[in-house]
Structure 1
Amino acid sequence: MKCKRCRRAEAAVDLPSHHAAFCPDCFFVFFRRQVKEGIRKLRLLAPEDRVLVCVSGGKDSLVLWDVLMEEGYETEGLYIDLGIDGYSDRSKERVLAYAASRGKTPIVVELAKEGIPIPETARCTRMQECSVCGTVKRHFFNRVAAEGKFTVVATGHNLDDETARLLGNLLHWQRDHLARQHPFLPGTGGGLVRKVKPLWRVSEVETAAYGFLKGIDYVTEECPLSFDATSLVYKESLSTRRTRCGERRRPLRRPTPFPRREESRRRAAGPWAKTGKISWERRGRARPAAHRPSRRPVPTAG
């Protein structure tokens, strides 16, 4: 399969949702155009903004940081060490390695030194780990952005994340969350900085393909504390439904662009059909003379 854009190189990424397939170079152009269009459409960023990119070591946040640097934005990375044994150390290594390859030094906040590591905080408050993690991270997003005089905070939420969140808010009918769910959240003052999600137009598959083709080393494992996260359940259900719908549509596709006319007539005629033609009794009028059976006596021999 050839690339849809250049028509020369072999395609490496197949995107059925866009009815296209791209070679690596053309896919990078396509991906960056999708991100730029999302930024332009909702006016998420301005050229003079100082962007604080929240990175976790996963594919979405590192890809976002890479794209924003490629587009010339003034960015700085923020990594929050959650204090999860093993997982936080591996994530931190990925962030520091990527930042060093781009000549950057990220801001690192260690929750253990702050006295609020996520596992212990969840046990003390008797709250779910994901709820505690989200609350603590949002606090440090605003605090670091205000102290560093950043004008905007960018997170790596993609289209799949926003769709799963929308499904959960609709199922539980959380009106307040539905009203706030948007790729652009303005700053309200009092230390709250503007928050944006520039990857809201690209799917998780496209983000993973970009990171793989770019050679970005990111953490592939899920957080060990997110085994009961509802967002993962919603995302998996949407992915399963999309796969089943795709399999269900395939047998309905005809090999030719035109329907079979004779078969369509036969189905429209229903039980009155005779050899593929609508009977004269159904039409409500007499049969033409040419089609009437002959009533002449049949001559007999002798």
Structure 2
Amino acid sequence: MTRNLRRQLLVLTIVVTAGCGGFGFSGGDGSPTPVTPAPVPTGSATTYPTGVGPTGVTSQSLLGSAHGNRLNGTGYAVTMNRTVRYANGSLRSHLRVHVALDANRTHLANISVRGHAAPVLLGRPPATASFWSDGDTYLRRLVRDNQTVHNEYDPPDSYAGTWRYWVHTAALNGRPAADVTQTVAPFHTRTLQSQQSDGTVYVIRGDRLRENTSSTAWASRENATLVAHVTRAGLVRHYRTEYTRVTDDGDPVTVTRTVRFTAVGNTTVGRPPWYDKARSTAG
């Protein structure tokens, strides 16, 4: 596990475990819908997303910025799945974070973990938890071993428990722009094109790492691949990386991380069904 991920999980553990005993599990991997892209004609008058050209990504930072700009000030949902499997296909760990964010920044975050080596941020895996806030009230629903706990809690500081925390730290590695930039940067890329019912999507693929990548984490990763779906407006709807590495115990594993943005400009978050029950119980 990388130093950045350890730091994120440590902070998340503080938020999750304050005033509670532990939880239970539900949730799936959320596999992306496959598409059949076609190569982009290099001589066409195609209008590409910012930071993307006919032969691949021309500027990772511009692509990231365009993506971030599409999300600023609007509602959306983001789902991150990180799965680690052994060479025989058995599960080592799985972390899923789903955050629904209203334009007014009311939010609902759902977290789940499973696998014997999964992060213990929700207690002993498998485990799940939900967190809701409108910026003034903070509520959570925790489940483990068929026992459910609802309560209202005070965040440990001014950042943990906020929508920025759930999106920028729990789901992503920084702001949406930074996460896209850092994800794409290590790869040599190429551009493909897919016609979909809601418009043209450019499929960015990478199956070879750059020789001069500045990321020390990627230096120990092999068989790395990238796929990202980008709209003409610059929204990176979905991106997925996969690579192999060796654990500290010497076991080869495959790590898959997917991030998907949905309902951009069309997400509203109301009170959860367990709102009253949580309000009646202090953390």
Report which structure shows greater RCO (CA 8 Å, sep ≥6). 2
Greater Rg over alpha carbons, structure: 1
What is the TM-score when the length of structure 1 is the normalising length? 0.23
